[in-house]
Structure 1
Amino acid sequence: MSTRSLLTAAALFGWLISQVHAADQWVPVRDVSLEVSPGSPLDFSSILPNGVIDADHRLIAGSDGSLAFAKAPEKPVRMLCASLAWSPASGGFPDHDGADRYARQLAMHGYNIARLHFVDASLMFGRQKDFDFDPETLDRVHYLLAALKRNGIYWIIDGLSSVRGAYGDYDDRWDANGDLKLRLHLDDEAFAHWARLQAKFLASVNPYTGIAIIRDDALALVILANENGIEFDGVVHERPGKPAYASALAAPFNRWLAARYGSTEALGKTWTDLGYDERLELGTVKLPADRYADGPRMRDLQAFFVETERASAARMSKVLRDLGFEGLISTYNNWPTVQTALSRRDLDAVTMNTYHDWVGGYAPGSALRQVSSLADGVDYMRMIAAARWLGKPFIVSEYDHLFWNRYRYEAGLVMPAYAALQGWDVLCRHGHGPIALAYGEPYPHKRAMLPYAIALDPVARAGETLSALVFRRGDAARSAITIPLAVRGEEDLSEDMQAREPERLTDLALVGRIGLQLEDRFDGEMGVTQARVETATDVLTALRDHGTLAPDNRTDIERGLYHSDTGEILLDRRAGQLRVSTPMTEAAAFASLREPFDLGVMRIEQADGNGLVGLSSLDVKSGISTSRRLLVIFATDAQNTGMIFRDSEEKVIQDFGELPVQIRKGYVNLALSRAAARWKVSPVGLDGTLYPPVESGSGPIAFRLSNDTAYGPTTYFLLEIADDG
């Protein structure tokens, strides 16, 4: 039998197995409209109101380095970000009516900032001439920006997302085939192209606001170019049989070496592998042949990258300042290595992208690992925590725990809880858009759930709902402990281009606030200046000895137990559980439930599988111990109808299937340490529709919650309590 036949047979077998399971495990979603009804339990506009955007409310780096309004620099604000990365495949920018509806829905869902990604690609889609923006798309972008601003939603905009920039006659604008991001650092023509793009788009007057985008108080942050680090760009373009590094780097690297070492003889004293044909005087010193081979050549290349990237960011920033931009500027928003951290040192704000169980594409054969993030101590969160420079705003410009990973419910608690603990400023779960107005839109990327497309995924949407409360509302507290990780400068570079802060230190992000700080700025506190050479256990011991960490803190790294200094977050790696207990929200994500556990008011007594359970007050001033209206979130897993995998573990996709989305049936038994004269639990549709109660009683509040209701499967329920006893 041929390989093709074997794959077909395996896929067919996987499909047959999925159909057998579908009948008893998966229930199709009945909701079509996804527009939240005003006043419904999912309308957060009253508990998370967006204010007016004006000069007083322009976002700045506040007095402690957190984002703040200009009129109150001492008061940090948290921003829940809507990722708007539209393309023709996902429907593109909406028309005026759609933009009004969409912006209003974002505000109702709790978003107060949006990141516009790949706008350059949309403006130039199908255009043959350089800078010949599509006029209808430009109009739609302008109108959407105005609609967002009217709804109190600020903007983050990439100066460049597409490697094709504003060059005409390309049909691969969303791919990574070009070299523009690399040339921005090396080539005056590429830099001039980027600068003209900023002048033509950002510095143009928006007819719907009457203000140039770059001068609008709503524009909080410009990311100069998305993911434009030199090393990362090389990895993206790495192909078998091709050199590890682009030849365009050779001449500037030789000039840099000549300025540093002066002669080939001096260079040879450091580089033990210098070839007989490599001469600084002739500019023939070679780039590393293998980026994963450690050595002094690699260490110097990293130092060259740092100097080049810092100079490039400064040059690009000046363009924006000369155009009148007063907001924050960032770039190099991925790769948490020592090298990239040094490149980010002088930026106004740090932006970072991070993913758990990354997926490379949508093609058949695309694969993920199908593993839990809790099992590795949420490494994807910790690695960017260690890339943050203390004293600057920190923006998570992209994150996700990707579909079709069955543990992705974890992200809805992991990221908002730890973002709050770290005191991060903006949290942006990446996708084409965070919400959709309806299922069934006639676009290729809207016909089924896909990676990087959270709007159609009930599990991701449940997580975003919880994020609005845990992070933006401030239900979870910021740590009172700050543990700086010492940075000296270039001497921190090693011979390994992948070197980053070690796990023995990033573990500290599960207990308190961490970040980078120049060593000469340390204040000498115990457990701080030695953080680079000690283990996390040593630092925690010092913090306990000095009374900074409470004696009852349960952190035990050897047992895989991490307890935040706030007392609100408990991660048990071995059990695969994350628990969050705050006055306004209690929630847990768990791979299994071997025995009941208490979160405070809520006790989770039993569940028939893994999932996310949350209980949040919907009252403005009442916590869950006294609130009369509480939102219950219960998320298991979701798949498309007819999904086909190539393997029984569902790691390798063959066919994503189609709508309707199906939710995995599940139940959980809950009990509250409250009693009431009357209480009832009612399902809430994905559009916020409140259905008749499915559980009710008097006295102690305890019930079994099934997501398979008579009105269709859902992830939301409303618990209403009257006349507390």
Structure 2
Amino acid sequence: MNSRSLLAAATIFLGCPAFAAYASDQWLPVRETSLEMRAGSPLDFSSILPNETIDAGHRLIAGPNGQLAFAEAPEKPVRMLCASLAWSPASGGFPDHDGADRYARQLALHGYNIARLHFTDASLMFGRQEDFDFDPETLDRIHYLLAALKRNGIHWIVDGLSSPRGAHGGYDDRWDANGDLKLLLHFDEEAFAHWTMLQQKFLARVNPYTGVAPIRDDALALVILANENGIEFDAVVHDRPGKPPYDAALAAPFNHWLAKRYPSTEALAEAWGDLEDDERLEAASVKLPADRYADSPRMRDLQAFITEVERSSAARMSKTLRDLGYRGLISTYNNWPTVQTGLSRRDLEAVTMNTYHDWVGGYSPGSALLQTSSIADNVNYVRMIAAARWLGKPFVVSEYDHLFWNRYRYEAGLVMPAYAALQGWDVLCRHGHGPITLAYGEPYPHKKAMLPYAIALDPIARAGETLAALVYRRGDVATSGITIPFAVHGEEDLGEDMQAREPEQLTDLALVGRIGLKRSDPSRLDIGVAQPRTQNSADILAEFRDIGILPAGNATDVESGLYESDTGEIVLQRAAGQLRVSTPLTEAAAFSSLREPIDLGVLRIERSDGNALVALSALDAPATLADSRRFLLIFATDAQNTGMIFRDSEEKFIEDFGSLPVLIRRGEVDLRLSRTAGKWKLSPVGLDGTVRPAVENGKGAISFRLSNHTPGGPTTYFLLELED
């Protein structure tokens, strides 16, 4: 994401009056305390989406077409729905043995089949004063949790390094952006040795509950060498007023690199045209750029230098893991979709990417977001990472979210899983402290109210994750039948702008078909986006229609902001603020306005009193919506905390997050199905999966007004049952 946007989002807005978040009659308090789902609930997907026993045959590998597959069936791609486990003491830390058993089982019931452990280094070293002096109880809990996940058929993704403090003792800011270990990993032997020792002492240590070290365990599918460790991104994170944009640690290596590329100062001056009098290549006194936003030949060469360093660094760290016996996939540089970082990722075995809509910089009063819809910008946060993918490699969304308290975040539950399925991505991980919680009211600072990056407490995010299990993991949305490569030649693709990325007028192709980077001969490209990027998507799609790659009836109209996938299953209408999905097993719509009914096929949304997500999914698969007898109906509006206070009437700047109970915004929609039944009934399903007494029933035509204000309290789930 653009660093200027990051800084703007985090700017503190002072001197404004406080605004209460809601009118009490429009916000309904959640009544559930326990959220532990019983087996057999309509929200129990363990029979719909069973997890395989993890063994040598079910080790995850890159199949011949570059998609994740099990070792015993390399030709058959598998989709992995990921549980983000980014616990800290503020969110309760790693659970005890009983809690781990219950939690892992709940993850399986919810449809998760892989988990990412994030900031384990910080948890292991919390409160420790000596290097590598892991807290023994935390280490035991992590080991036990890994074993519990494996028993439930849930694979693992692990960061080799999350905290910039690594395993150094004596720090109390391990979850902050302080520390320079991620940068020094690329240049400093002592830092590299520290990272290596961390892998030896954690990943290569035998887990007493599995009998094997995690690094040799069939459950370990992917290691991210270091989270978000790109050199330019690290520099932006550490940018401060009055401080040079680039760390002095880069100066000597950069000069050494320049000396190998240019024979003399005079040759460098001719190439750059802006050398100062005291800059001499022979004296290694060439300066780093003084402004990261000033385009120049100097900046172009810095990008080429960074790319070479990052590729070499990733190869060196990968070899370390291989020497320790690791056989799984390896990735790194999992954020920022710039041209430069794309080149750094080209040799990786798998590509991992993080992306956010309406990013939030923190929890302190004055923290801000933009309060915008993702559909309004053609889901740019999805398109950005789609263009960072390298075709022919597994693609993992290691983090994404449409963050609380954005009022349009119901969109994420349809936007990301639908387009991830269309793109054929391999792993989808919505980021948070944890994707579920066993109960409301836990006595930890980050569990006392909904917060950004805390999706487990948010009924809207949880409804989206439920839908993702069906739309994405079950495969309700099909993968595109067309692939649109973006040609990459190499270093010659770099320009003078460090922040350059794939143009938005081309990344919108991801809303129609699969896109990704592909090495290409500079002289030719049969089908796709050529280099340099002088084309536009409208012309490319017109060509695709002419030669029959795209169906002639495809409704995409780039100028008006209408995009239909090549499969015909997904339609985005920017002007209307709507995303529609129509498949045999799920029909759904996310909408910021409903000026006229939405007809999805079986489901027709005739009226709504506000913006929302509505989805209907068949529960009797392989029976479809046309012949199933049981359906899960999702209706998600918005949710806030009790007593939430903002500094402005548009609810962009937070003053106080408030407290539990969570409040769900009251809403109603009028729905009609193109089905009839001898008898039918509609029953609310609690957030814990409990089926409550029916609130609607009838015979023949199926039509009703759906309200989330039910006798048992507000909910986002309903069970529709039909009888002959």
- Specify if TM > 0.5: yes
Deviations 1:42-83 (A, max 9, x none): 000010000100111110000100000111111100000000
Task: Give, as a single letter, the amino acid of the residue that structure 2 aligns with 1:572.
Answer: Q
1:427 aligns with 2:434: no
Deviations 1:118-154 (A, max 9, x none): 0000000000100000000000000000000000000
Aligned to 1:630: 631
SS in structure 1 at match of 2:683: strand
Task: Give, as a single letter, the amino acid of the residue that structure 1 aligns with 2:397.
Answer: V
1:548 aligns with 2:549: yes
> Does the 8 A contact of 1:485 with 1:531 survive in 2?
no
Deviations 1:406-434 (A, max 9, x none): 00000000000000000000000000000
Aligned to 1:357: 358
Aligned to 1:122: 123
1:281 aligns with 2:277: no
> Percent identity over the alignment?
77
> Does the 8 A contact of 1:62 with 1:76 survive in 2?
yes
Task: Give, as a single letter, the amino acid of the residue that structure 1 aligns with 2:17.
Answer: A
- After TM superposition, the structure 1 = structure 2 runs for residues 37-48 of structure 1, keeping only pairs within 5 Å, are 37-48=38-49
Aligned to 1:267: 268
Aligned to 1:652: 653
Aligned to 1:10: 17
1:113 aligns with 2:114: yes
Closer/same/farther in 2, CA of residues 372 and 247 from structure 1, 3 Å limit? same
Aligned residues: 712
For residues 695 and 252 of structure 2, what CA distance do their matches in structure 1 show? 71
For residues 386 and 528 of structure 2, what CA distance do their matches in structure 1 show? 18
Closer/same/farther in 2, CA of residues 7 and 386 from structure 1, 3 Å limit? closer
For residues 463 and 532 of structure 2, what CA distance do their matches in structure 1 show? 37
Closer/same/farther in 2, CA of residues 205 and 24 from structure 1, 3 Å limit? same
Task: Give, as a single letter, the amino acid of the residue that structure 2 aligns with 1:720.
Answer: E
Q: Aligned-pair distance for 1:533?
A: 3.2
> Does the 8 A contact of 2:487 with 2:528 survive in 1?
no
- After TM superposition, the structure 1 = structure 2 runs for residues 280-319 of structure 1, keeping only pairs within 5 Å, are 280-319=281-320
Closer/same/farther in 2, CA of residues 450 and 266 from structure 1, 3 Å limit? same
Deviations 1:530-576 (A, max 9, x none): 79432111110111111111111000001100000000000000100
Q: Aligned-pair distance for 1:653?
A: 0.1
For residues 263 and 523 of structure 2, what CA distance do their matches in structure 1 show? 35
Closer/same/farther in 2, CA of residues 530 and 547 from structure 1, 3 Å limit? farther
> Does the 8 A contact of 1:526 with 1:542 survive in 2?
no
Closer/same/farther in 2, CA of residues 69 and 639 from structure 1, 3 Å limit? same
Closer/same/farther in 2, CA of residues 527 and 85 from structure 1, 3 Å limit? closer
Aligned to 2:168: 167
Task: Give, as a single letter, the amino acid of the residue that structure 2 aligns with 1:654.
Answer: E
Q: Aligned-pair distance for 1:22?
A: 2.9
> Does the 8 A contact of 1:531 with 1:539 survive in 2?
no
Deviations 1:583-606 (A, max 9, x none): 000000000100002001000000
Aligned to 2:59: 58
SS in structure 1 at match of 2:518: strand
> Does the 8 A contact of 1:576 with 1:590 survive in 2?
yes
Deviations 1:456-479 (A, max 9, x none): 000000000000000000000000
SS in structure 2 at match of 1:185: coil
Task: Give, as a single letter, the amino acid of the residue that structure 2 aligns with 1:621.
Answer: P
Deviations 1:470-502 (A, max 9, x none): 000000000000000010100110100010100
For residues 270 and 625 of structure 1, what CA distance do their matches in structure 2 show? 66
Deviations 1:660-696 (A, max 9, x none): 0000000011000000000000000000000000000
TM-score computed with the length of structure 2 as normaliser: 0.97
Aligned to 2:3: none
Aligned to 1:200: 201
Aligned to 2:7: none
Aligned to 2:472: 471
Aligned to 1:609: 610
Task: Give, as a single letter, the amino acid of the residue that structure 1 aligns with 2:206.
Answer: V
Task: Give, as a single letter, the amino acid of the residue that structure 2 aligns with 1:483.
Answer: I
Closer/same/farther in 2, CA of residues 526 and 555 from structure 1, 3 Å limit? same
Task: Give, as a single letter, the amino acid of the residue that structure 1 aligns with 2:291.
Answer: D
SS in structure 1 at match of 2:185: helix
Aligned to 2:620: 619
Task: Give, as a single letter, the amino acid of the residue that structure 1 aligns with 2:716.
Answer: T
> Does the 8 A contact of 1:646 with 1:654 survive in 2?
yes
> Does the 8 A contact of 1:165 with 1:180 survive in 2?
yes
> Does the 8 A contact of 1:527 with 1:542 survive in 2?
no
> Does the 8 A contact of 2:646 with 2:654 survive in 1?
yes
Aligned to 1:573: 574
Task: Give, as a single letter, the amino acid of the residue that structure 2 aligns with 1:313.
Answer: A
Aligned to 2:702: 701
For residues 685 and 211 of structure 2, what CA distance do their matches in structure 1 show? 41
For residues 409 and 14 of structure 2, what CA distance do their matches in structure 1 show? 27
> Does the 8 A contact of 2:631 with 2:721 survive in 1?
yes
Aligned to 2:562: 561
SS in structure 1 at match of 2:649: coil
Aligned to 2:251: 250
Task: Give, as a single letter, the amino acid of the residue that structure 1 aligns with 2:640.
Answer: Q
1:341 aligns with 2:342: yes
Note the residue ranges of structure 1 that are not aligned, 5 or more in a row: 1-5
Q: Aligned-pair distance for 1:172?
A: 0.4
Aligned to 1:586: 587
Q: Aligned-pair distance for 1:656?
A: 0.1
Task: Give, as a single letter, the amino acid of the residue that structure 2 aligns with 1:55.
Answer: A
> Does the 8 A contact of 2:481 with 2:567 survive in 1?
yes
> Does the 8 A contact of 2:503 with 2:533 survive in 1?
no
Aligned to 2:391: 390
Closer/same/farther in 2, CA of residues 112 and 522 from structure 1, 3 Å limit? farther
- After TM superposition, the structure 1 = structure 2 runs for residues 368-379 of structure 1, keeping only pairs within 5 Å, are 368-379=369-380
- After TM superposition, the structure 1 = structure 2 runs for residues 176-255 of structure 1, keeping only pairs within 5 Å, are 176-255=177-256
> Does the 8 A contact of 1:60 with 1:69 survive in 2?
yes
Q: Aligned-pair distance for 1:524?
A: 4.7
Aligned to 1:3: none
SS in structure 2 at match of 1:283: coil
Q: Aligned-pair distance for 1:382?
A: 0.0
> Does the 8 A contact of 2:484 with 2:527 survive in 1?
no
For residues 207 and 34 of structure 2, what CA distance do their matches in structure 1 show? 31
4+ residue segments displaced more than 2 Å = 6-9, 520-533
For residues 9 and 164 of structure 1, what CA distance do their matches in structure 2 show? 37
Aligned to 1:72: 73
1:535 aligns with 2:536: yes
Deviations 1:326-383 (A, max 9, x none): 0000000000000000000000000000000000000000000000000000000000
Q: Aligned-pair distance for 1:23?
A: 1.6
Task: Give, as a single letter, the amino acid of the residue that structure 2 aligns with 1:183.
Answer: L
Note the residue ranges of structure 2 that are not aligned, 5 or more in a row: 1-12
Deviations 1:286-329 (A, max 9, x none): 00000000000000000000000000000000000000000000
> Does the 8 A contact of 2:459 with 2:716 survive in 1?
yes
Deviations 1:491-528 (A, max 9, x none): 11010001010011101000000000011399953445
> Does the 8 A contact of 2:488 with 2:531 survive in 1?
no
For residues 532 and 680 of structure 1, what CA distance do their matches in structure 2 show? 55
Task: Give, as a single letter, the amino acid of the residue that structure 1 aligns with 2:629.
Answer: R
For residues 286 and 375 of structure 2, what CA distance do their matches in structure 1 show? 46
> Does the 8 A contact of 2:493 with 2:532 survive in 1?
no
Closer/same/farther in 2, CA of residues 426 and 278 from structure 1, 3 Å limit? same
Closer/same/farther in 2, CA of residues 169 and 526 from structure 1, 3 Å limit? closer
Aligned to 1:418: 419
Task: Give, as a single letter, the amino acid of the residue that structure 2 aligns with 1:507.
Answer: D
- After TM superposition, the structure 1 = structure 2 runs for residues 478-557 of structure 1, keeping only pairs within 5 Å, are 478-520=479-521, 524-527=525-528, 529=530, 532-557=533-558
> Does the 8 A contact of 1:329 with 1:347 survive in 2?
yes
1:451 aligns with 2:452: yes
Deviations 1:192-217 (A, max 9, x none): 00000000000010000001100000
Closer/same/farther in 2, CA of residues 183 and 207 from structure 1, 3 Å limit? same
Task: Give, as a single letter, the amino acid of the residue that structure 1 aligns with 2:565.
Answer: S
Aligned to 1:717: 718
Task: Give, as a single letter, the amino acid of the residue that structure 2 aligns with 1:625.
Answer: A
Aligned to 1:88: 89
For residues 207 and 63 of structure 1, what CA distance do their matches in structure 2 show? 35
For residues 655 and 295 of structure 1, what CA distance do their matches in structure 2 show? 44
Aligned to 2:662: 661
SS in structure 1 at match of 2:375: coil
